[in-house]
Chain A
Amino acid sequence: MINRRDFGKLVLGATALSFTACNSLASGLSTIPANKKRVVIVGGGFGGAATARYLRKFDSDVEIVLVEQNKEYYTCPFSNAVIAGMEKIDFIKHDLNTLAKKYNIKVVYAKVTKVDGANSNVILENGEKISYTRAVVSPGIDFKYEKGYTKENEKYAPHAVKAGEQTTILQKQLENMKDGGTFVMVAPADPFRCPPGPYERISLVAHYIKNNKPNSKIIVLDQKDKFSKQALFSNGWKELYGDLIDWRAAQFGGKVISVDPVKKVIVTEDEEIEADVLNYIPNQKASQLAFDSGLVANGKDWCDIHPKTFESKLVKNVHVIGDASNAAPMPKSAFSASTQGKVVALQIARILKQQEPLNPPKLANTCYSLLNPNYGISIAAVYNALDDKIQNVDGAGGVSPEQDPDGHIRILEAKYAYAWYESQTSDIFK
């Protein structure tokens, strides 16, 4: 006999069952129709979205499934402007709705736990499987939690390297900091997402502090001795902010021994520093998904790939692009990820049509950084993807000119930074 409580359980159970069935994230995708080919893309950021949009450009017939865990995507580019109060968080918010509708891409919102190369399917957190002919994995980074910094206490000393909630937390902390406070950034060891990113951030924090809390100070504890566009940043800091930014190389007091994110105390080799706001950017590695999917070799942090197609060296038919891939000398940047996604889309379209991949594909990168809203600097490079490595094209690339006596180039590059962002996000999300 069923009592009232049991009856309640049954009803709840039935509701839960029907809920699951109605919301089946990937229903009908566990197999591929005999006459079809399917490319499953994991991750809807700059890499994954570019792959999806351009794969449709190159192949009108292939089935494209894009799996992304978040319905809203906040870009790391321009997240520093949000932290410094120059832009609202919505400025960096994008979604996959237009991409899905306009280019006939099936978007599945779900967390992927593993790409199962042996059985050619992508496994979702709820156990569902999506079969693929080829998979493209663009999962981004994860952090090395160490020295006292943990997933649980990161909100007290936000890294803000994955944009969104963390961006807002750091922005609020800066906004609430007292005038006369100390803003401390711990900058990571190489390689990490967006090599100029921490230094753009510290520039824009300085811009905010100069205008809002001029008695405050900034300390950067760097886990390395040099960084991207260093001369341009250093000269710009001096020109715009005097001695407000105290940057310390690893060998000259920057090296961090331990951190207490709750108390905001950092112990270096020389001293103990108490911060009012602590922006701790940990050392990084490929997303855990890449490790769980066997895409990272033992003892390594990133996914090794065949440069021409970005196919994993460890798992056949799976291509890894963006920050998780070891595409050095290409930096882990939005521009790189997007370029890689487009080239990989072209190569996969050819492979699926039994054509040889193009040889050699050409890749490029451009990164703009703002030192204030009207002061931009840039770095660029062009690469050939050879059989065994990605190679800088000799003589190409470089940084902004060191001298800009009338300031026109810095102003123009700040405008181009905004224009690039609009072009880049339109190109892949719209």
Chain B
Amino acid sequence: MKKLAFLLALASLSFAVDYDPIRGEMLSLSCANCHGTDGKSTTSIPKIAGLDKNYMYQTLLEYKTGKRVDTHMMQKHTKGFTDEELEQLSYYFSKVK
């Protein structure tokens, strides 16, 4: 259990980037076309506003590596972003109220 806690702590440490809200917002602009303004979707496309940043980042990485598969739309988009950009995006959407 201690080992798991340690690993989790490491994982959250390794996530830490300098959050740049303006850059995060710039990167988010295309997302809003499908996921709604600031990710506040009201359609069958999932809402992403307010998601936990770690969860969202993990999910985006899983799309990018092909571990998680949807209709392939998210694979196509996540592969266009660096890991650091996906972190910024995750931070941005996690902070949307």
Binding site for B on A (CB under 8 A): 54, 335, 338-339, 342-343, 346, 358, 361-364, 366, 378, 380-383, 393, 395-398, 400-401, 409, 412-413, 415-416, 418-420, 422-424, 426-427
Q: Which of A396, A400, A415, A424 contacts B79 (CB 8 A)?
A: A396
Cβ of B82 to closest chain A Cβ, rounded Å = 9
B32, B34, B37, B78: the one within 8 Å of A419 (CB):
B34
A427 touches B71 (CB 8 A): no
B80 near A364: Cβ-Cβ < 8 Å: yes
Q: Interface readout for B45-87 with A: 1 if CB under 8 Å, 0 if not?
A: 1000000000000000000000000011100111111000100
Q: How distant is B79 from chain A, measured CB to nearest CB, in Å? A: 4
User: Given the complex, which residues of B lie within 8 Å of A415, measured CB to CB?
Assistant: 44
The verdict on A346 contacting B33 (CB below 8 Å), with A396-B76, A397-B76, A398-B72 known, is: no
A301 to chain B: closest CB distance in Å? 26
Quote the shortest CB–CB distance from B97 to chain A (angstroms). 15
User: How far is A409 from B72 in the complex, measured between Cα atoms in Å?
Assistant: 9
Task: Kindly name the residue among B25, B32, B71 whose own CB sees the greatest number of chain A CB atoms within 10 A.
Answer: B71
Would you call A366 and B35 a contact (CB within 8 A)?
Answer: no
3 residue pairs, one from A and one from B, having the closest CB atoms: A382-B80, A396-B80, A364-B30
Report yes or no: B79 in contact with A358, Cβ–Cβ below 8 A. Answer: no
Pairs A–B under 8 Å by Cβ, sample size 5: A339-B30, A364-B30, A381-B80, A397-B76, A415-B44
Q: How far is the CA of A378 from the CA of B26 in the complex (A)?
A: 24
Say whether B22 faces chain A, with CB atoms less than 8 Å apart.
yes
Point out residues on B near A: beta carbons under 8 Å. Answer: 22-23, 25-27, 29-30, 32-37, 41-45, 71-73, 76-81, 85
Residues of B within 8 A of A420 (CB): 33-34, 43, 45
Given contacts A362-B30, A426-B36, A427-B33, contact A382 B72 (CB under 8 A): no
Sample of 4 more A-B contacts, CB < 8 Å, known A366-B73, A396-B78, A415-B44: A361-B26, A382-B77, A396-B79, A419-B34
Residues of A close to B77: CB separation below 8 A: 364, 366, 380, 382, 396-397
Contact B45 A419 (CB under 8 A): yes
Q: Return B78 CB to nearest CB of chain A, in Å.
A: 8
Whether B79 and A419, one on each chain, are in contact in the complex, defined by CB atoms closer than 8 angstroms, is no
Contact of B29 among A339, A393, A422, A426 (CB under 8 A): A339
CB–CB B80/A366 < 8 A: no
Q: What number of residue pairs across chains A and B have CB atoms under 8 A from each other?
A: 105
Residues of A within 8 Å of B33, CB to CB, are 335, 338-339, 364, 366, 420, 423-424, 427
Q: Are A422 and B26 in contact, CB atoms less than 8 angstroms apart?
A: no
Contact call A400/B71, Cβ cutoff below 8 A: yes
Question: B45 — which chain A residues lie within 8 A by C-beta?
Answer: 416, 419-420, 423
A94: shortest Cβ distance to chain B, in Å?
15
Chain A residues, CB < 8 A from B73: 366, 378, 380, 416
Report A-chain residues with C-beta under 8 Å of the C-beta of B44. 415-416, 419
Rounded to whole Å, the gap between the CB of B25 and the closest CB of chain A is: 7
- Give A338 to B19 CA distance when docked, in angstroms: 26
Q: Which of A338, A393, A424 contacts B80 (CB 8 A)?
A: A393
B80: nearest chain-A partner, CB-CB: A382
Q: Which residue of chain A has the shortest Cβ distance to B30 in the bound complex?
A: A364
Contact of B71 among A362, A381, A413 (CB under 8 A): A413
Bound: A236/B25 CA distance, A: 38
Contact A423 B71 (CB under 8 A): no
Q: Which residues on the A side are within 8 Å of B36 (C-beta)?
A: 423, 426-427
Nearest chain A CB to B9 CB, angstrom units: 32
CB distance from B43 to the nearest CB of A (A): 4
Q: Within 8 Å CB of A381, what residues of B?
A: 76, 80
- Partner of A343 from B29, B37, B42, B81 at Cβ < 8 Å: B29
Residues of the A chain whose Cβ atoms lie less than 8 Å from the Cβ of B34: 366, 416, 419-420, 423-424
Are B29 and A401 in contact, with the CB atoms below 8 A? Answer: no
Is there contact, CB below 8 Å, between A401 and B72?
A: yes
CB within 8 Å for A346 and B25 given contacts A393-B79, A401-B72, A419-B45: yes
CA A78 to CA B73, docked complex, whole Å: 20
* Contact present for A343 and B26 (CB under 8 Å): yes
Known contacts A339-B29, A343-B26, A415-B44: A398-B81 contact under CB 8 Å: no
**CB of A302, distance to nearest CB on chain B (Å):** 22
Closest chain B CB from A403 CB (angstroms): 11
Residue with the greatest number of chain A CB neighbours at <10 A, chosen from B42, B73, B78, B81 = B73
Asked whether A346 lies within 8 Å of B29 as measured between CB atoms, the reply is yes
Contact assessment for A412 and B22 in the assembled complex, using a CB-CB cutoff below 8 Å: no
Residues of chain B contacted by A342 (CB below 8 angstroms): 29-30, 32
Check if B29 sits within 8 Å of A378, measured CB to CB: no
Contacts of A427 in B (CB 8 A): 32-33, 36-37
Cβ–Cβ contact B22 & A358, under 8 A: yes
Set of chain A residues within 8 Å of B37, measured between Cβ atoms: 426-427
